Amino acid sequence: MRTLERTGPKGRPGLLDSPFQILLAAILAAVFFGGCGGGGEDNELKGTPAPQLSGSILIDGSSTVFPITEAVAEEFRKVQGNVKVTVGVSGTGGGFQKFCNGETAMSDASRPITAKEIEACAAKGIEYIELAVAYDGLAVVANPQNTWATCMTVAELKKVWEPAAQGAITKWSQIRPEWPNETIRLFGPGTDSGTFDYFTEVVNGRAKDSRGDYTASEDDNVLVQGVAGDKYALGYFGLAYYEENRGKLKDVQVDGGKGGGCVTPSQQTVEGGTYAPLSRPLFVYVKKPEAEKPEVKAFVDFYLKNAAKLSAEVGYVKFPDRFYNLVTTRWESRKAGTMYANAPAGATLEQLLARP
């Protein structure tokens, strides 16, 4: 699995950069996998773009989607070194502010675009193409020394995180009497984060409704460090950051009700639909005029052809192939707008992707 450090457009430490190193690694990999009896094709990226292009692509938005987009950008830079791809992290809401203000070509989002953001884009005459790229689950996490909170219900999470809890629910023992009479220290995404929007809507019943007395950050690594350093901490963020930091954290299983019982967040439970309701699709949005630029078109083509492999590599859950086929159709037809507009109640992601 790739590390999830944010190092900007030059890529993450430890990845091969020089042409000689890349060639040598490719030769060694071919020898190794050939000797192991296959598997080489599964480890190759698809759709290497040609001819050589130039230009720049500015992307910003979700810290949750960042690892996927940055992984794609790293691989794309290796074959299109004259295209500068810059991936920023200002949260889903912050990313849409820049996107709808005409500052970026693409926006990463861990939730669909909102009505307010649609209006902001429309006011600037900005059309966009919405592309789902992978599944994510939200992990509720505690310190490894926490021996009591093995599972929490959605109702208990609401008791901790709803606005009325601010200054009122401060001890673990207020959640369950048998839990320690110790102060809970909370860590979670900032208000510009799509993860914040999603969690508060699912748990508290309304997006952005939350207590405010917690340590907030758009950088999930800050949240990891906070929970890892405090025995009585509780936090939440994207599944990939939990997977990357398993040795520092403990997952808290979630009981979503409806007879499902306590479920551990994992790629398997997210893909299987059992980790409900804290799982969701992730998106990239492409400004429609930018889609006709050769470097942007090549990058998005490359993204969609390799999203399954690279999203799994950084800890997310890939879609079934048929989902990517539907997403690719949306992209190739340059279908503008969001598939969530006037969506039928209860529609599945596959049904939304297939909408004409």
Q: What is the pLDDT of residues 214-239, one digit of tens each?
A: 999 989 899 999 999 999 999 999 89
Both tokens of residue 305? 């052809």
pLDDT at 79: 93
pTM: 0.76
pLDDT in tens, 18-46: 433 333 333 333 333 333 433 333 457 88
Give the range among 143-147, 179-183, 191-195, 299-303 with minimum mean pLDDT: 191-195
Task: Kindly report the CATH class assigned to 8-135+281-353.
Answer: alpha beta
Bigger pLDDT: 3 vs 212:
212
pLDDT in tens, 60-111: 999 889 999 999 999 999 999 999 999 999 999 999 999 999 999 999 999 9
**Opening angle at CA 181, ends 176 and 184, nearest 5:** 85
pLDDT at 205: 94
Whether residue 11 is predicted with pLDDT greater than 80 in this model: the reply is: no
User: Alpha helix (H) ranges present in the chain?
Assistant: 19-35, 66-79, 91-100, 115-123, 154-161, 194-199, 220-228, 239-244, 267-271, 294-313, 321-332, 349-353
CA dist 202 and 217 (Å) reads 20
pLDDT in tens, 172-197: 999 999 999 999 999 999 998 889 99
Domain with CATH 3.40.190.10 in the chain: 8-135+281-353, 137-279
CATH of 137-279, one of 3.40.50.1370, 3.30.230.70, 3.10.180.10, 3.40.190.10: 3.40.190.10
